[in-house]
Amino acid sequence: HLGGSDTSTAISNLLLVTGNYAKPGAGAYPLRGHNNVQGAGDFGSSPDNLPGYQKVSDPDVRKKFENAWGVKLPEKAGMNNHEMVEGVHEGQLKAMYLKGEDMGLVDSNINYVQAAFEKLDFFVVQDIFLSRTA
């Protein structure tokens, strides 16, 4: 994943210079970097989206899911990775359950992220591989 964005941009540029951008039968599908990040996003696992990338902030969308699921949903989006790390440093978060993510490696400031993990009272890392974060 180190450099995945640059690789994706390079592939898109290659398609452009060869005249193969947005043509039937031509193209590329660069996969996103983290394990199953596309499926997790589709499923509504990001803090500001419900399934299908529908916004938590949209009252009509929330109402639809509240009716389907039989629960009241929060109006405010949850914290993203960076906000959670900040929340730990600011004392807002005391526990974290991290599943399938090597935040200690892929986030922008490894020392700052690792220092946040060390402040947690409770920290679980669930992954199929032993990662740096684990």
Is it the case that residue 1 has pLDDT exceeding 60?
A: no
Q: 126: part of which helix (H) or strand (E)?
A: strand 122-126
Is it the case that residue 114 has pLDDT exceeding 90?
A: yes
The residue-averaged pLDDT of 115-122 equals: 96
**What's the pLDDT tens digit per position in 29-40?**
766 666 667 788
Q: What is the DSSP letter of 73?
A: P
**What's the pLDDT tens digit per position in 69-104?**
999 999 999 998 889 999 999 999 999 999 878 887
Q: For residues 48 and 36, is the Cβ–Cβ distance under 8 A?
A: no
H helices within the chain, ranges in order?
Answer: 4-17, 37-43, 59-69, 81-89, 103-106, 110-119
Q: Which of 51-55, 66-70, 100-104, 108-112 has the lowest mean pLDDT?
A: 100-104
Instruction: Say which residues have a Cβ less than 8 Å from residue 37's Cβ, sequence separation at least 6.
Output: none
Instruction: Say which residues have a Cβ less than 8 Å from residue 60's Cβ, sequence separation at least 6.
Output: none
Cα–Cα distance for residue pair 85/103, rounded to 1 Å: 10
pTM value surpassing 0.85: no
Q: Which residue, chain included where needed, has tokens 């922008």?
A: 108
Mean pLDDT, the chain, rounded, equals 87
The confidence score (pLDDT) of residue 3 equals 64
Tell me which residue of 94, 104, 109 sits closest to 130, measured CA to CA.
104
